[in-house]
């Protein structure tokens, strides 16, 4: 049996961290769903930037939108919604079969809004309404300014994928925002079953400390952070406050492991996949990681519910001079800036293509 199916049967959802029009047009996404147990999909500005740069598949849509007078961000979201809604329709059967646990796709608000609460809320509502799909997550960063937007979006009934989380503390803040939104829905007599995942980024931790810690700690920081966060999530799910919302019809906010492609060429391509296997979680994988997993026939023992040796490992990093709290804040800030950079490059690509297609018309 393929390791993708083994991981699915272990209780972890496999989502693809990629979307391109070629992936949709060729039937490859449908093949991944049928053959590799893929049950969802995530996107981000970098993914769309690369898709537009490398393919002519968007040219016809670009021409049509240009004739309608669309440009810039508005034009991008037109194109993105075309892809995302098609992907959502591919996963709709999964969404229906699992009663909304799985089958989700994700689209991010403009990264330039990461520190603008009001505009983030408005953008989330607009994208949710335009997509008109029940299995669409709107991605909102778990920055300080993003947290109130997460609460308001959940209260408004908009499913949210909280992105750019790097630590237990950042995860708990996002979970609190989700919980407040659900509690407000319950108090208002609204249906509390609003989906959400909390995306914790893993590999960037190890990239950040590469060459700065003893060799025996190489590629161990991200996994230790994940263990600490997973243990906190298990404790949260069992707390009386959360159990009260379950009793009212709400669901837990699942943990999603993001940035799980191995960056170290000397390490196993499935380093993070095997270490982060855990029931009732999601692993969103780059396409190369998904294919590598499909070529294996075992997944290992996975993650311990109590985080295993995570605290002992983190203590060793502290001894080596790594300030985890400070690094988490740095990584979140750098992640937000990286997405803004990709966003600006994406708009540049759209502008250049628009000019070229307009001149050729």
**What pLDDT is attached to residue 44?**
87
User: If pLDDT is split at 50, 70 and 90, which confidence band does 192 have?
Assistant: very high
pLDDT at 71 over 90: no
* Highest-scoring range by mean pLDDT, 71-85, 200-214, 333-347: 200-214
**What pLDDT is attached to residue 9?**
96
User: If pLDDT is split at 50, 70 and 90, which confidence band does 56 have?
Assistant: confident
pLDDT digits (tens, 9 = 90+) for 225-250: 999 999 999 999 999 999 999 999 99
**What pLDDT is attached to residue 360?**
55
**CA gap 79, 349 in Å, rounded:** 13
**CA gap 130, 134 in Å, rounded:** 12
Structural domains of the chain ordered from first start: 3-360 (3.20.20.70)
Query: What is the dihedral angle through the alpha carbons of 128, 130, 132, 134, rounded to the nearest 10 degrees?
Result: -20
**Which pTM value belongs to this model?**
0.95
**CA gap 324, 318 in Å, rounded:** 8
pLDDT at 361 over 80: no
pLDDT digits (tens, 9 = 90+) for 293-336: 999 999 988 999 999 999 999 999 999 999 999 999 999 999 99
User: If pLDDT is split at 50, 70 and 90, which confidence band does 356 have?
Assistant: confident
- Mean pLDDT (whole number) for 343-351: 89
Residue 263 appears among annotated catalytic residues:
no
Instruction: Annotate 122-157 with b (16+ C-beta within 10 A) or e (fewer).
Output: ebbbebbeebebebbbbbbbbbebbbbbbbbbbbbe
Catalytic residue among 53, 125, 139, 341: 139
pLDDT digits (tens, 9 = 90+) for 105-163: 999 999 888 888 999 999 999 999 999 999 999 999 999 999 999 999 999 999 999 99
**What pLDDT is attached to residue 81?**
96
| DSSP count for the chain of H helices, then E strands | 16, 8
**What pLDDT is attached to residue 322?**
98
């Amino acid at each position: 049996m393929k390791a993708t199916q083994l991981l699915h049967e272990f209780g972890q959802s496999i989502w693809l961290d990629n979307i391109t029009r070629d992936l949709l047009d060729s039937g490859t996404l449908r093949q991944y769903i049928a053959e590799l147990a893929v049950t969802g999909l995530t996107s981000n500005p970098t993914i769309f930037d690369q898709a537009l740069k490398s393919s002519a598949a968007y040219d016809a849509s670009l021409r049509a939108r240009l004739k309608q007078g669309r440009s810039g961000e508005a034009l991008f979201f037109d194109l993105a919604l075309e892809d995302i809604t098609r992907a959502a329709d591919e996963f709709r059967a999964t969404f229906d079969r699992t009663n909304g646990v799985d089958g989700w796709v994700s689209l991010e608000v403009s990264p330039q809004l990461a520190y603008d609460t009001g505009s983030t809320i408005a953008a989330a509502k607009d994208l949710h309404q335009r997509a008109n799909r029940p299995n669409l997550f709107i991605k909102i960063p778990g920055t300080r300014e993003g947290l109130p937007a997460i609460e308001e979006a959940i209260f408004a009934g908009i499913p949210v994928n909280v992105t750019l989380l790097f630590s237990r503390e950042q995860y708990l803040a996002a979970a609190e925002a989700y919980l407040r939104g659900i509690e407000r829905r319950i108090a208002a007599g609204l249906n509390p079953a609003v989906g959400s995942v909390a995306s914790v980024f893993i590999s960037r931790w190890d990239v950040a400390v590469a060459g700065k810690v003893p060799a025996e700690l190489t590629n161990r920081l991200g996994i230790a952070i994940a263990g600490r966060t997973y243990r906190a999530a298990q404790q949260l799910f069992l707390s009386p406050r959360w159990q009260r919302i379950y009793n009212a019809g709400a669901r837990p906010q699942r943990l999603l492991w993001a940035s799980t492609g191995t960056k170290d060429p000397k390490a196993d391509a499935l380093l993070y996949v095997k270490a982060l296997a855990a029931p009732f979680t999601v692993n969103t994988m780059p396409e190369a990681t998904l294919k590598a997993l499909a070529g294996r026939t075992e997944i290992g023992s996975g993650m311990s519910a109590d985080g295993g040796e995570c605290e002992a490992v983190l203590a060793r990093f502290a001894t080596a001079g790594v300030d985890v709290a400070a690094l988490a804040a740095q990584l979140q800030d750098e992640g937000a800036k990286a997405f803004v950079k990709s966003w600006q490059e994406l708009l540049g690509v759209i502008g250049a293509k628009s000019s070229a297609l307009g001149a050729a018309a």
